[in-house]
Each structure stands twice: as structure tokens, then as C-alpha cells.
């Protein structure tokens, strides 16, 4: 069986994945807070985890991998959007408006991620459907001395009660206090303590609990949902590295204290950030564009996916128009090569080996480039599909533009044969200039002429030639 190595944040090195149960490899990815459209940065963990999911399904079998990605559908930001709608005169109660907002955001998210070729996870738990499990976990933490109620509707986790706090990111509690904006509040026994449960107003979403009507804190959601779906221990937990502290440290503290008999997640996988001029793309900095913005501007989802795959997930990356143009030209070439070709029965070993080495997608793409010739088009197709590229579903953008350039290839070839005799290359130059102006890549070799539509290909300009 293929050996998969992954970089584990917790041990700071590459580790061989030894699934707890190879018949059911389980992975959990922290999903979005559903208050607005996903920006391009939010799509990066989705694409990275999609490649991992596809690789695991390839190695362990389609029915032997379970992937869960949650929706955080209780949050102040969601409440704020509902409140703004209500103030603008929208009908319905605040609670109904909250629900309307989360429903529409989830449907946008699923549509946008599908355009990027991401398979839907097996489970997409919504926080609001797991409130009893969260309450039970908080009660367990209180009973075991890891949490306390303040008597005014809050429950807090006592960070000092968990000696391994900070082990994931390798920082001491003092460093973390210094580095983060830790909220000091009167009800906290220690500034690092964080909220498990907080009170809610009558108008906003809330649930009855032993501490009064309230709602969960963000971190307890993932601990409770992953436990309900996967039990005390599972294989891989992921998210962007911006979640390492405090979110993932807090998840570990909650889960390991509530269920000390388990390991929680064995491997922690973190993707680096998508950046804009050296800064993390984020809603709060305002330096973002959404996946939908790019799709509406005419960038096909498959092109966006290929741009992501060109950079290793543990390296920061930028989105540039140049990268998108190159990816589009590559995909056009690969799609032209594989049109009408039956896929080979098995993916290339070199591609699988690259992916198995801590998801080296750039290495896998280098192997695909080697397979991009007429003789190995069937292998190219199968291996590209392992990466979620060149699938039938993703190809609609390039359909209908499948222009037959063979007539122009012949004209150019013939013109050159004549020019070699007459030493007059004017007609060859005229044809080449016109083809390039129509966005066609012209490749001339001793034996022939190859014309490939480039990213700015415009068929209407060919008519004038």
C-alpha cells in the first residue's frame, strides 16, 4: 500500500499516516462562519483538503474515508448581518433573518466550492444542530474541574487546568498572552480562560441550558461535532494556520480534558495563507475578493484550482492574473490533448508518489506536464483527475470553444514551404501576426506547425485571415 507522509504541526515534522482504522480514515476540517460569501483565501483549505480526501480515497478505497467539514452558523457576525437587514426594514423576526442569512450563505458556499471541483464532504454538520452535545461536553468539563460558570450565564474553560495547553503551536502560555489580544474580563479567573457558553438576548438565537438561555462559544462547536461524528480519536484535523491559536489550541484543551482516554486528532495539518501584497487576505483587512467575483470575471473554477495547486499548501501564495493566464493556457492544451481519449486504467505512480509526500501538488503537476503529449494523453487524463482536474464536470468552460485550427495549420505550413523556395517570408509573417493577434500560440518546428488557442483566444479574429 502507498505510504502517505504528512507534516504534523504538533510534532513539527513529516509523519507516516498510520490510520487508527484503515477501513475508516477520518478527517475533519474547520469550515466557514456563514455570514457572507467565501473569499479566495477561504477556498484554499477547501482545495488542499479536497486533494487529501481524493488521495486517501485512492489509497484506502472510496468507502473507507470519512470527511467532515462544519458550518459555524452561530456567530456575532451572522447576527449583525441579520440586525442590519431588520433595521433596513426586512420582514420577519431577528431569528428568522439569522436563519435566512445562514441558509443563503451555505448555498453560495456549496455552489462556489463545487465550481472549484471540491467534492462534498461526507458530513457537513451545522453547529446549531449539535447544541445538546455541546451542553453535555461543557457539563463534563465542569464536572472534571476544567471549567466554571460565573453565575451570570457564562461558562469559561480554565486554561491552567490543562498542562499541555500551547503544545500544538509550541508556545508557552506567557508568550501567547503577550502575542494575542487576550480579553481580560472580571468573570475570568485567569486572562487566558476562554468562553464555552455565553448568554443570549431574547431576540437573538439562543438555547436553554443549565446556565440559562444562551449560545455556545466557537471552539466548543468543533470539539462537540467532531466527537459526535468521530469519537474520542480520529486521524487528521485541518484548517488554515491562522486557526492554530487560539481555535485549535482551545479545541485540543476541551476535547482532551473531556475525553482524556482519547488522542483527539493524531495529525494536525495547517495550510499557509493566501496573501495580497504580503498580507493575509481577510474580511477584516478589507483586502479580499470572493470566489464568486473571480468566477463572474470569467476565471473558470478549474483555472482557480490549478493556480492553488501550483503552490505547496505550507507556503504562502498570491493570486496573480499572470498565474491565472498560464493555468488557463495549460488547461486548454491538456483538454485539447485529451478530447475523445479514454482515461488510462491507473494514475501515474510518480503523481501518486508526489502527492503522498506531504501533498506535493507542484511536484504532481510537474509529472502531469511530462505526460502532456499525444502518446501519453490517456495517462495525463487519469492522473489529472486524481487531482480533480480535467473532469467532465469542470470542462464546460472550454467547450464550444473547441476550434479546429488544422486548416490554419495547413495554410501556414504550406506558406512556409513556398517561402523556403522563394525566400519571401511576407505571407508567413502575415499569417503568423494575424494568428497571434487572435490569441493563438504559434509553434513552428522543422516537421510541422502547431497552433494552440491561448488564454486571450478570439475565434472571431480568425475569420479575417
Query: Which residues of the shown chain bind ligand AMP in the complex (CB under 6 A)?
Result: 30, 32-33, 41-42, 44-45, 239-240, 242-243, 271, 273-274, 280-282
Q: CA–CA separation, 333 vs 461, rounded Å? A: 20
From ligand AMP, Zn ion, none, which one binds at residue 222 (CB under 5 to 8 Å depending on kind)? Zn ion
- Which window, 15-23, 49-57, 80-88, 217-225, contacts Zn ion (CB under 5 A)? 217-225
Q: CA–CA separation, 72 vs 221, rounded Å? A: 8
38 or 412: CB nearest ligand AMP: 38
Alpha carbon 87 to chain centroid distance? 34
**Residue numbers 252-291 binding Zn ion by CB under 5 A:** none
Q: Which of 6, 17, 29, 30 binds Zn ion (CB under 5 A)?
A: 30
- Output the CA torsion sign for 364, 236, 49, 248: negative
264 or 299: CB nearest Zn ion: 264
By CB under 5 A, is residue 317 in contact with Zn ion?
Answer: no
Considering the complex, what minimum distance in angstroms separates the CB of residue 398 from ligand AMP?
27
From Zn ion, ligand AMP, none, which one binds at residue 270 (CB under 5 to 8 Å depending on kind)? none
221 or 328: CB nearest Zn ion: 221
Sheet holding 25-29, edge to edge: 65-69, 25-29, 233-240, 264-271
Q: CA–CA separation, 33 vs 78, rounded Å? A: 8
By CB under 5 A, is residue 222 in contact with Zn ion?
Answer: yes
141 or 364: CB nearest Zn ion: 141
Q: CA–CA separation, 76 vs 81, rounded Å? A: 9
Considering the complex, what minimum distance in angstroms separates the CB of residue 118 from ligand AMP?
13
From Zn ion, ligand AMP, none, which one binds at residue 274 (CB under 5 to 8 Å depending on kind)? ligand AMP
Considering the complex, what minimum distance in angstroms separates the CB of residue 42 from ligand AMP?
4
By CB under 5 A, is residue 34 in contact with Zn ion?
Answer: no
From ligand AMP, Zn ion, none, which one binds at residue 41 (CB under 5 to 8 Å depending on kind)? ligand AMP
222 or 252: CB nearest Zn ion: 222
**Helix or strand holding residue 112 (H, E):** helix 94-115
Q: Cβ distance 45 to 1 under 8 Å?
A: no
Considering the complex, what minimum distance in angstroms separates the CB of residue 27 from Zn ion?
13
Q: CA–CA separation, 288 vs 236, rounded Å? A: 29
Considering the complex, what minimum distance in angstroms separates the CB of residue 204 from ligand AMP?
20
Q: CA–CA separation, 163 vs 449, rounded Å? A: 69
29 or 451: CB nearest Zn ion: 29
**Helix or strand holding residue 201 (H, E):** none
Considering the complex, what minimum distance in angstroms separates the CB of residue 244 from Zn ion?
11
Considering the complex, what minimum distance in angstroms separates the CB of residue 55 from ligand AMP?
19
Bridge-based pairing state of the strands 155-157 and 147-149: antiparallel
225 or 380: CB nearest ligand AMP: 225
Considering the complex, what minimum distance in angstroms separates the CB of residue 31 from ligand AMP?
7
- Which window, 221-229, 300-308, 315-323, 455-463, contacts Zn ion (CB under 5 A)? 221-229
222 or 304: CB nearest Zn ion: 222
Q: 7 by DSSP, 3-state: which?
A: strand
Cα–Cα distances in angstroms (integers) from residue 110 to residues 30, 99, 126, 300, in the given order: 15, 17, 14, 16
From ligand AMP, Zn ion, none, which one binds at residue 305 (CB under 5 to 8 Å depending on kind)? none
Q: CA–CA separation, 372 vs 374, rounded Å? A: 7
35 or 197: CB nearest ligand AMP: 35
77 or 403: CB nearest ligand AMP: 77
Q: Cβ distance 14 to 358 under 8 Å?
A: yes
From ligand AMP, Zn ion, none, which one binds at residue 280 (CB under 5 to 8 Å depending on kind)? ligand AMP
| Residues in a beta bridge with 317 | 274
Considering the complex, what minimum distance in angstroms separates the CB of residue 5 from ligand AMP?
22
Residue nearest ligand AMP, CB atom distance: 240
Q: Cβ distance 208 to 228 under 8 Å?
A: no
Per-residue burial over 350-389, b = 16 or more CB atoms within 10 Å of its CB, e = otherwise: bbbebbbebbbbebbbebbeebbeeeebebbbbbbbbbbb
Cell triple for 213: 438561555
- Please give the DSSP secondary-structure letter assigned to residue 144: T
Give, in degrees to the nearest 5, the angle at Cα 75 between 70 and 78: 100
Amino acid at each position: 500500500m502507498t505510504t502517505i507522509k504528512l507534516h504534523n504541526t504538533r510534532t513539527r515534522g513529516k509523519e507516516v499516516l498510520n490510520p487508527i482504522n484503515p477501513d475508516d480514515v477520518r478527517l475533519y476540517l474547520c469550515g466557514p462562519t456563514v455570514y457572507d460569501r467565501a473569499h479566495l483565501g477561504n477556498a484554499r483549505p477547501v482545495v488542499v483538503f479536497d486533494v487529501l480526501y481524493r488521495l486517501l480515497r485512492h489509497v484506502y478505497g472510496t468507502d473507507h474515508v470519512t470527511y467532515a467539514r462544519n458550518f459555524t452558523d452561530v456567530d456575532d457576525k451572522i447576527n449583525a448581518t441579520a440586525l442590519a437587514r431588520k433595521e433596513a426594514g426586512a420582514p420577519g423576526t431577528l431569528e428568522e433573518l439569522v436563519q435566512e442569512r445562514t441558509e443563503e450563505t451555505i448555498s453560495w458556499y456549496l455552489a462556489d466550492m463545487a465550481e472549484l471541483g471540491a467534492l462534498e464532504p461526507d458530513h457537513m454538520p451545522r453547529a446549531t444542530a449539535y447544541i445538546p452535545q455541546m451542553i453535555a461536553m461543557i457539563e463534563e468539563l465542569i464536572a472534571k474541574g476544567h471549567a466554571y460558570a460565573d453565575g451570570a450565564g457564562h461558562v469559561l474553560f480554565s486554561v491552567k487546568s490543562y498542562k499541555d495547553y500551547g503544545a500544538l503551536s509550541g508556545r508557552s502560555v506567557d508568550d501567547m498572552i503577550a502575542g494575542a489580544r487576550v480579553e481580560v474580563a472580571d468573570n475570568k479567573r485567569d486572562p487566558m480562560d476562554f468562553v464555552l457558553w455565553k448568554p443570549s438576548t431574547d431576540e437573538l438565537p439562543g438555547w436553554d441550558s443549565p446556565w440559562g438561555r444562551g449560545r455556545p462559544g466557537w471552539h466548543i462547536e468543533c470539539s462537540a461535532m467532531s466527537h459526535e461524528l468521530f469519537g474520542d480519536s480520529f486521524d487528521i484535523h485541518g484548517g488554515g494556520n491562522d486557526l492554530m491559536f487560539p481555535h485549535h489550541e482551545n479545541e485540543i484543551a476541551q476535547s482532551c480534558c473531556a475525553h482524556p482516554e482519547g488522542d483527539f486528532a493524531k495529525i494536525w495539518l495547517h495550510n499557509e495563507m493566501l496573501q495580497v501584497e504580503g498580507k493575509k487576505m481577510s474580511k477584516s483587512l478589507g483586502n479580499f475578493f470572493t470566489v464568486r467575483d473571480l468566477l463572474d470575471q470569467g476565471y473558470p473554477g478549474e483555472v482557480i484550482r490549478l493556480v492553488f495547486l501550483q503552490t505547496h499548501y505550507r507556503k504562502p501564495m498570491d493570486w496573480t492574473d499572470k498565474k491565472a493566464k498560464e493555468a488557463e493556457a495549460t488547461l486548454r492544451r491538456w483538454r485539447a490533448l485529451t478530447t475523445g481519449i479514454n482515461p488510462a486504467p491507473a494514475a501515474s505512480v510518480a503523481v501518486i508518489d508526489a502527492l503522498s509526500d506531504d501533498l506535493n501538488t507542484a511536484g504532481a503537476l510537474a509529472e502531469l506536464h511530462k505526460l502532456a503529449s499525444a502518446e501519453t494523453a490517456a495517462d495525463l487524463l487519469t492522473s489529472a483527475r486524481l487531482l480533480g482536474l480535467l473532469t467532465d464536470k469542470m470542462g464546460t468552460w472550454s467547450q464550444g470553444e473547441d476550434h479546429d485550427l488544422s486548416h490554419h495549420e495547413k495554410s501556414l505550413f504550406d506558406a512556409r514551404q513556398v517561402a523556403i523556395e522563394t525566400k519571401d517570408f511576407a505571407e508567413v509573417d502575415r499569417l503568423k501576426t494575424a494568428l497571434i493577434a487572435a490569441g493563438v500560440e504559434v509553434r513552428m518546428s522543422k516537421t510541422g506547425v502547431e497552433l494552440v488557442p491561448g488564454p486571450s483566444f478570439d475565434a472571431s479574429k480568425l475569420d479575417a485571415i
